[in-house]
Amino acid sequence: MRTHQFVLTMVLFLALGGEAFSQKFATKTGTIRFYSEAPAENIEAINKQVNSALDTQSGDFVFKVLMKGFQFEKALMQEHFNENYVESHKYPNASFVGKINNLSEVDFSKNGTYEATVSGKLTIKGVSKDVTEKGTFEVKDGTIGGKSIFYVKLADYGVEIPKTVMKNIAETIEITVDVSMISLNK
């Protein structure tokens, strides 16, 4: 676990690090929402303390989220999510470390909305998978908004849903990432 965190920190450092980079944007109040639609019920959870950073020069993009920070409508769902499904005591965070594939098509110096594809490693419950997802970056008066909706198959990340609640939780859940980043340059 510690090794994993160390590697992640190093990746973040190499990707975004040092004072040498002059094009870093970040936020600590990003939002990640997940939504499960199943026959018995729909479940939604939101986390509003997502760390995210972007290097507009290299296209490196990362986010990290603490699992215990997801808020559910029902307290029991939140308990099951943390204790049984994602085991947040063992795997306290999820993260994405990746890169914008079509960086040349995104002009971060000019206001506008740009379609982008981002590839990288998504880590949930200690399992890392290569993913490529579509999203948009919106540049507006010095801030950069990033939005993406993608789908995650729970079984791919070792999240097992007991048969007794299969009608309550979807096999594939919708993840919405919404971040508004400001320049770290001072």
SS3 call for 157: helix
Q: Least separation, in Å, of the C-beta of 16 and other proteins? A: 7
Of 129, 67, 70, the closest CA to residue 97 belongs to 129
**Pairwise CA distance, residues 66 & 109, whole Å:** 31
User: Pick from 32, 43, 53, 173: which binds other proteins (CB under 8 A)?
Assistant: 53
Please tell me whether residue 28 binds other proteins under the rule CB under 8 A: yes
User: Smallest distance, Å, CB 171 to other proteins?
Assistant: 22
**Cα torsion through 111, 113, 118, 124, rounded to 10:** 100
CA triple 125-175-85, angle to 5 deg: 35
Site residue total, other proteins (CB under 8 A) = 34
Tell me whether residue 60 is exposed, middle or buried, using C-beta atoms within 10 angstroms of its C-beta: 0 to 12, 13 to 18, 19 or more. Answer: buried
Using the rule CB under 8 A, is 126 a contact of other proteins? no
Q: In the range 59-88, which residues lie near other proteins by CB under 8 A?
A: 64-66, 68-69, 71, 74-76, 78, 82, 88
Q: Quick count: other Cβ atoms within 10 Å of Cβ 11? A: 17
Distances in Å between the Cα of 38 and the Cα atoms of 16, 67, 112, 115 are 39, 22, 37, 30
Residue 76 CB, nearest distance to other proteins (Å)?
6
Q: Is 9 in the site for other proteins (CB under 8 A)?
A: yes
Closest CB to other proteins among residues 117, 176 = 176
Minimum distance of other proteins from residue 172's CB (angstroms) = 24
- Note whether 99 binds other proteins by CB under 8 A: no
Residue ranges in contact with other proteins by CB under 8 A: 2, 5, 9, 12-13, 16-18, 26-29, 31, 48-49, 51, 53, 64-66, 68-69, 71, 74-76, 78, 82, 88-89, 92-93, 180, 184
